[in-house]
A and B are shown apart, each in its own frame.
Chain A
Amino acid sequence: MAEPVLEVHDLHVTFTTEGGLVPAVDGIDFSVAPGETLAIVGESGSGKSVSSAAVMGLLPSNAATTGEVLLDGRELIGLPNDELRKIRGNDIALVFQDALSALNPYYSVGWQVAEAYRLHHDVSKKVAHRRAVEMLDKVGIPDAARRVDSYPHEFSGGMRQRVVIAMALVNDPRVLIADEPTTALDVTVQAQIIRLLDDVQEEFGTALVLISHDLGVVAEVADDVLVMYAGRAAERGTVRDLFYRAAHPYSLGLLGAMPRVDVPPKPRLTTIPGTPPSPGSIRTGCPFQPRCAYTHLVGERCITERPELTPRPGEGDHEAACHLGRRPEALL
Chain B
Amino acid sequence: MTTQSVSEELLRLKNVRKYFGLPGAPWRQAQAVKAVDGVNFVVRKGETVGLVGESGSGKSTLARVATRLLDPTQGSVEIGGVDVTNVRGRKLRPVRRKIQMVFQDPQASLNPRQSVGTILSTPFRAQGIRPTRAQLVELLQQVGLSEEHLERYPHEFSGGQRQRIGIARALSVKPDLLVCDEPVSALDVSVQAQVLNLLADLRDELGLSYVLVAHDLAVVRQVTSRLAVMYLGTIVEEGPADQVYSAPAHPYTKALLSAVPVPEPGVERDRIVLTGDVPTPIAPPSGCPFRTRCYKVQDVCATVRPVLEPVHGSTEHRAACYFPEPPPPERTR
Tell yes or no: A142 within 8 A of B by CB: yes
| Bound: A188/B277 CA distance, A | 9
Q: A213-B188, A259-B218, A261-B221 are in contact. Are A269 and B264 (CB under 8 A)?
A: no
Residue of B nearest to A41 (CB): B189
B256/A259 in contact, CB under 8 A = no
The digit string for B252-291, where 1 denotes a CB below 8 A from any CB of A, is: 0001110111111110000101111110000000000000
A191 contact from B191, B265, B271, Cβ within 8 A: B271
Interface residues of B in 103-132 (CB under 8 A from A): none
Number of CB contacts from chain A to chain B under 8 A: 121
Q: A220-B261, A260-B262, A262-B262 are in contact. Are A272 and B190 (CB under 8 A)?
A: yes
CB of A160, distance to nearest CB on chain B (Å): 11
A257/B192 in contact, CB under 8 A = yes
Tell yes or no: A314 within 8 A of B by CB: no
B265/A243 in contact, CB under 8 A = yes
CB of A145, distance to nearest CB on chain B (Å): 18
B218/A188 in contact, CB under 8 A = no
CB of A158, distance to nearest CB on chain B (Å): 7
Q: A213-B189, A270-B193 are in contact. Are A259 and B259 (CB under 8 A)?
A: no
Chain A residues in 8 Å Cβ range of B31? none
| Bound: A217/B218 CA distance, A | 13
Q: Which of B37-45, B67-75, B194-202, B298-306 contacts A (4 or more CB under 8 A)?
A: B194-202
Tell yes or no: B54 within 8 A of A by CB: yes
Chain A residues in 8 Å Cβ range of B160? 275
Chain B residues in 8 Å Cβ range of A216? 218, 260-263
| Bound: A156/B293 CA distance, A | 16
A240/B265 in contact, CB under 8 A = yes
Tell yes or no: A84 within 8 A of B by CB: no
B190/A271 in contact, CB under 8 A = yes
| Bound: A158/B274 CA distance, A | 12
Q: A158-B277, A159-B277, A271-B193 are in contact. Are A187 and B256 (CB under 8 A)?
A: yes
B264/A214 in contact, CB under 8 A = no
A254 contact from B189, B196, B262, B264, Cβ within 8 A: B189
Tell yes or no: B215 within 8 A of A by CB: yes
Number of interface residues of B (CB under 8 A): 42
CB of A137, distance to nearest CB on chain B (Å): 15
Q: A187-B217, A219-B264 are in contact. Are A142 and B276 (CB under 8 A)?
A: yes
Tell yes or no: B147 within 8 A of A by CB: no
The digit string for A223-243, where 1 denotes a CB below 8 A from any CB of B, is: 000000000000000011001
| Bound: A222/B218 CA distance, A | 21
| Bound: A255/B262 CA distance, A | 11
CB of B293, distance to nearest CB on chain A (Å): 9
The digit string for A189-221, where 1 denotes a CB below 8 A from any CB of B, is: 011101100000000000000000111111110
CB of B16, distance to nearest CB on chain A (Å): 23
A215/B259 in contact, CB under 8 A = no
CB of A265, distance to nearest CB on chain B (Å): 5
A43/B188 in contact, CB under 8 A = yes
CB of A127, distance to nearest CB on chain B (Å): 30
B274/A188 in contact, CB under 8 A = yes
A275/B215 in contact, CB under 8 A = no
B261/A259 in contact, CB under 8 A = no
Centre residue among A156, A191, A268, A276 by max chain B CB count within 10 A: A191
B265/A269 in contact, CB under 8 A = no
Q: A159-B277, A187-B260, A195-B273 are in contact. Are A261 and B196 (CB under 8 A)?
A: no
Tell yes or no: B223 within 8 A of A by CB: yes
Tell yes or no: A264 within 8 A of B by CB: yes
Tell yes or no: B245 within 8 A of A by CB: yes
Tell yes or no: A4 within 8 A of B by CB: no
B193/A257 in contact, CB under 8 A = yes
Q: A188-B54, A259-B196, A259-B219 are in contact. Are A275 and B158 (CB under 8 A)?
A: yes
Tell yes or no: A16 within 8 A of B by CB: no
CB of B261, distance to nearest CB on chain A (Å): 3
B273 contact from A192, A218, A259, Cβ within 8 A: A192
| Bound: A261/B219 CA distance, A | 8
B263/A243 in contact, CB under 8 A = yes
CB of B333, distance to nearest CB on chain A (Å): 14
| Bound: A276/B322 CA distance, A | 50
Centre residue among A217, A255, A260, A270 by max chain B CB count within 10 A: A260
| Bound: A243/B261 CA distance, A | 14
B218/A258 in contact, CB under 8 A = yes
| Bound: A270/B194 CA distance, A | 8
Chain B residues in 8 Å Cβ range of A254? 189-190
B193 contact from A186, A269, A275, Cβ within 8 A: A269
CB of A198, distance to nearest CB on chain B (Å): 11
Q: A192-B273, A216-B263, A275-B158 are in contact. Are A260 and B255 (CB under 8 A)?
A: no
B218/A215 in contact, CB under 8 A = no
Chain A residues in 8 Å Cβ range of B274? 188, 191-192
| Bound: A312/B158 CA distance, A | 34
Chain A residues in 8 Å Cβ range of B190? 43, 253-254, 257, 271-272, 275
B158/A219 in contact, CB under 8 A = no
Known: A187-B215, A254-B189, A259-B221. 19 other contacts (CB 8 A): A43-B190, A44-B188, A187-B217, A187-B259, A190-B261, A191-B273, A191-B274, A213-B189, A243-B265, A257-B190, A257-B192, A259-B196, A260-B221, A261-B260, A265-B221, A265-B223, A269-B196, A275-B158, A275-B190
What are 14 A-B interface contacts by the 8 Å CB criterion? A43-B188, A187-B259, A191-B259, A215-B189, A219-B264, A239-B265, A257-B192, A259-B219, A260-B263, A266-B222, A269-B222, A271-B190, A271-B193, A275-B158
